[in-house]
Every structure is written in C-alpha cells, then in structure tokens.
Amino acid sequence: MAGEKGRTKGIDRTDDRPVYIVGGGPGGLAVAAVLRRHGVRAVVLEKSGAVGDVWRGHYDRLHLHTTRKLSALPGLAMPRSFGRWPARDDVVRYLEKYAEYHELEIVTGVEVSRVERAADGRDWLLRASGGRELTGRAVVVATGYNHTPRIPAWPGLDTYEGTLLHARDYRNPEPWAGKDVLVVGAGNTGAEIAVDLVEGGAARVRLAIRTVPHIVRRSTAGWPAQRTGILVRRLPVRLVDRAGALLSKVAVPDLAEHGLPRPDTGLYSRVAEGAIPVQDVGLIDAVRRGRVEIVAAVTSLDGGKVALGDGSLIAPEAVIAATGYRRGLEELVGHLGVLDADGSPRVRGARCAPGAPGLWFTGYTNPISGMLRELSLDAGRIARAVARTCR
C-alpha cells in the first residue's frame, strides 16, 4: 500500500476545476486511480449511494467468465480467496476496497444529466441533480455498457397480461420454483438464468432464440476461453472463424436435434458484429437432458400468451427478457455529436471525438478478451491522455 502511494505525485486539491468522471463502476474507478498516480485530481460522480451499483444489482448466481488474475484493475490485485472465477459479491467488495485503497475522491448521490461546453469554450460544464453546475477541465464518461434495460417493442407488449421482467430484475430462481418460465435471449445472461431456473426447481424452462449463438467452454484443460480471446484479437477474422469451427466440433457436442444447431456464421465474424460467444456454465448439459427447451424467437405478445416465430402460441407463467441494454447516453452527450446511430460513442479510449477535446469514454464495448481487462488497459491510456491535456 505504501509503495503504491509512494508513486503518487502531489495532487493539488485546491484546484476547483478537477477532471470529472461520470460513473462509479470499475471503468470510472480505474481511470480515477491512474489519474491520481499521474498527479491529476479526479472526482468520481456516482448517482447511486455506493460504487459498483450495477454489479450489486446482478443476479445472485453470477460469476465472472474472466479469471481473477485477468480481471483486476490497475494497482490492486484481486485476493486469491475469490477463487478463479470471482462471484458477484466478491467483485462488489473488490470495488469498495479499490476505492478505499487508492483514496479516490468519490461523490455519491449525484446524477449528471448533461455535459456541455463551458462558457469559456475550453472547460466542461456538468449539470447534475440538485441544480448543481460543475466545471471541469476534462470529463470521462463511464456510465457503463449495461446502463438501460432494453425490451423489444413486441406487438402486444402494452397489453400483455402475463408476468414480464427484464433480466436486470431477476435475482434467483426461488420465486419461479414449480412454474413455467420462458427466457428470451441466448446471450450469456439468458443462458445462465435458464440454467439457474432449472437448478432452482422451475417446472419448465424454455429459451427463445432469434440467432443461434456460438457456445464455448469457459475453460478447457485448465486453459480459460478468455486467454484465447486475447490471443486471437489481432488475427484475421477468417482464420479465427476456421479455428473456432474446428475447436467447436471437438469441444461442444452437436445439439441440432435439441433445437440448437451449430451457427452458420463464424465465431469471430459474429464477435465483429458485437455478439460475444456464450460461455458454458451448464447450458449444454441442460439442453442435452431436455431440461432447457429451445424454442423459436418471440414475435408478439397476445393477451396472456406469447407468439413464436414458428407460429406456435405458448402461455408461460413468466417471461424473463435477457434482451440486452442500451447505453443511455443520448440525454447526457447526444447533443455533442459524439454518438453513433446505435447510441454508442463514436470514439472511445485514449482518443476524443472531433469537436469534443477533453471528453473521453470508457467501457462501451463488450470485448472477447474480457471487459474488466480492457477497462484496465483503457484506464492507463485515458489517464495519460488526460494528464497531457491538463498539463
């Protein structure tokens, strides 16, 4: 601890124009810690009452699909006691310890609603809850990839009479024991919730799939899928697609007779489109045993029933939509011309968007090499760029 603090340069805490970091999740905390090491005062603004708020809201079963060693943020390792795949509560404890260890300046209960240029044309003005107006030399937006739950605009959604919730509101299988549940979306979250429901005693679990996912083993002979993801990031897409297809035939059984055929698009081609492979934490076995039934995509809702793409009509007692998130940045920075058509930052990492010098974004991709690892690398790049600007 003393060694880390010994490397921290003197910080001018009388500066009334700090660097503001919007969001107290892992990305925001990592940037703040590295900025402190560079001697730049950074203030983290977190809308909730504590750091790591999104992590606190994840379902109980959640464990990282990335290893403990490759998931630590700059300047503080994760404890060995967390095991190889840290649990949700371990990550929350780690983020709390990280903020304390690096003596980060964090203000909770403050929600930033808009970021705009200050009157001098150089600084940034942040409009926040309680009528606050904060002026900073630079701003790092780190509100997170999983910000605003997204439920498709299915016909009949407004008049649906059944129980419908987004995966963010799912905690554990206890309320659904003995019930018929439909999970919509076969990403990592949907796959894991489906397995959780089966193991928790749900009477019937169906998983609605629009696009067949690639499934990979989380670890093969001790080698984590994450390390493969790191190694292949700079290789040609076609080469990785071919290698992935061969590996899949060896490691993953053919589940076509259970409604889950092998994808007809290459694994890395799909990653380039933003679709991360599903890491198996029990789905393969559950599908093979018929405990998770694969069904067609949801097309509409009809009263208390759900219409599927194959023309069938089912009546589950609950629908859990693991249908992803929006970035939720439109009100915050949409007026600055820095977002693409999907609402994600046009430029991320160490670069600033044209026309918006001094404004950085981190944590708005879902990389195959692991989000926490990439956030850590991003933090160093952004902190160096911010430090150069502030000097």
User: What per-residue string of b and e applies to 36-48 under the rule 16 or more CB within 10 Å gives b?
Assistant: bbbebbbbbbbbe
Q: Where do we find the tokens 């690398």?
A: 377
CB atoms within 10 A of CB 98: 23
**Helices 26-37, 371-390: crossing angle, 10 deg rounding:** 40
Task: Write the CB contacts of 126 (distance below 8 Å, at least 6 apart in sequence).
Answer: 20, 22, 45, 112, 114, 115, 132, 133, 134, 135, 136, 139
The tokens for 91 are: 């990550």
Q: What is the pLDDT of residues 1-41, one digit of tens each?
A: 333 343 344 444 435 789 999 999 999 999 999 999 999 99
CB atoms within 10 A of CB 34: 25
At 260, the amino acid letter reads L
As a whole number of angstroms, the distance between CA 133 and CA 126 comes to 6
pLDDT at 15: 59
pLDDT at 8: 43
Domains by residue range for the chain, with CATH: 2-147+327-390 (3.50.50.60), 150-321 (3.50.50.60)
- What is the CB-side half-sphere exposure of residue 234 using CA atoms within 13 A? 1
- Percent composition of the chain: helix, strand, coil (DSSP 3-state, to 5): 30, 25, 45
**pLDDT tens digits, the chain, 391 residues: what are they?**
333 343 344 444 435 789 999 999 999 999 999 999 999 999 999 999 999 999 999 999 999 999 999 999 999 999 999 999 999 999 999 999 999 999 999 999 999 999 999 998 899 999 999 999 999 999 999 998 888 999 999 999 999 999 999 999 999 999 999 999 999 998 999 999 999 999 999 999 999 999 999 999 999 889 999 999 999 988 999 999 999 999 899 999 999 999 999 999 999 999 888 888 999 999 999 999 999 999 999 999 999 999 999 999 999 999 999 999 999 999 999 999 999 999 999 998 899 998 999 999 999 988 889 999 999 999 999 999 999 887 6
Q: How far apart are the first and last CA of the chain?
A: 27
Please tell me whether the overall predicted TM-score, pTM, comes out greater than 0.75 for this model: yes
Rg of the chain taking only CA atoms, in angstroms: 22
